[in-house]
Amino acid sequence: MRRHIVRAWTGALSLAAGAAVLPLAAPGPAAADSVVIGGSAVQVSDHPWVVAVASRDRFGGTRSGQFCGGAVVNRTTVLTAAHCVSADVLGAPLNEVRDLKVIAGRNDLRTSEGSEVTVSSVKTNPEYNSSTNSGDVAALTLATPLPESYVIPMAGQGDAAYRAGTPAAVYGWGDTTGGGQYARSLHAAQVHVLADTVCEEAYPGSSDGKYVAATMLCAGEPMGGKDACQGDSGGPLVAQGRLIGLVSWGSGCGRPGNPGVYTRISDAAKVLRIHG
Ligand code: ARG
């Protein structure tokens, strides 16, 4: 995971700086017209709960400083991944990042549409484990509330949307090829929720992480090809109109047998005591 985080950060930073993107150790399959990986462009106005988490100081202004995704769960709270606000990703301790922002309603990151909201405080899950990636969630409190219409309901424990086989969509501005091609506009890919037994078999424990059913869920397609990737972290996985996961980790992007792993929202809301 550490490897992946550093890669995500290096990619974003070098992209912002206009320098060459470092080659990935194991690039995923490059698919034409893929986004997120194997997805397509969507309009943020149709999915207003998808936001970009950004810092121009840390990541440069080319793509509005975007480096992760997030989901609006109430008017003043955005959930993102805990690893997104780690010093590894930020390249500096969080308390030294003075311009952490949530960007809502901006489809194309090169424009100034929508709004930029200051993050006034960050609550990282105290149970986050950076070696397994368990509990990968942080709550960002916004200095000014977003409209109620931006809020997506969270799926509670036992919600039918978590059932294996449920169709779900993942959203983000991240790498669209597995080769460091960061999207300028929002993309989404359609995947299916997988059974815990499948996820456990795919990720019994390696340097990338270990599947923990209580705090994670995984989703993908049998042939691979559709997945989240670097830069999508913290962004929403949505099924049946409810938020079920946040992009957390995986081995490569879109590889068959290596589904995307997500922070399980029912557990995240419980440990952070977040209410919709
Ligand atoms: N850790 C990555 C990030 O920081 C997200 C990786 C998701 N990978 C996947 N194959 N679904 O953006």
Q: Say if ligand 1 is within 6 A of residue 233 CB.
A: yes
Give residue-wise pLDDT tens across range 200-209. Answer: 999 999 999 9
Please report, to the nearest 10 degrees, the dihedral formed by the alpha carbons of residues 122, 88, 109, 192 taken in order.
Answer: -90
Distance of CA 241 to the CA centre of its chain: 18
Measured distance CA(200)–CA(249) in Å, rounded:
14
Domain harbouring 99, CATH code: 2.40.10.10
Q: Say if ligand 1 is within 6 A of residue 42 CB.
A: no
Do 204 and 211 form a contact (C-beta atoms < 8 A)? Answer: yes
Total-model pTM: 0.89
Q: Say if ligand 1 is within 6 A of residue 191 CB.
A: no
Our count of domains for the chain comes to 1
Pocket test for ligand 1, best of 248, 258, 261 (most atoms within 8 A of CB): 248
Structural domain of residue 177, as residue ranges?
1-276
Q: What six digits make up the tokens of 35?
A: 């986004």
- Residue partners of 37: CB distance under 8 A and separation at least 6: 28, 31, 175, 176, 177, 178, 189, 225, 226, 227, 228, 229, 253, 254
**What b/e string do you get for 48-64 counting C-beta neighbours within 10 Å, with b at 16 or more?**
bbbbbbbbbebbbebbb
- Per-10-residue mean pLDDT of the chain, 276 residues long, equals 34 32 33 62 97 97 97 98 98 97 98 98 97 98 98 98 98 92 94 98 98 98 95 98 98 96 96 90
Give residue-wise pLDDT tens across range 22-80. Answer: 333 333 333 333 347 899 999 999 999 999 999 999 999 999 999 999 999 999 999 99
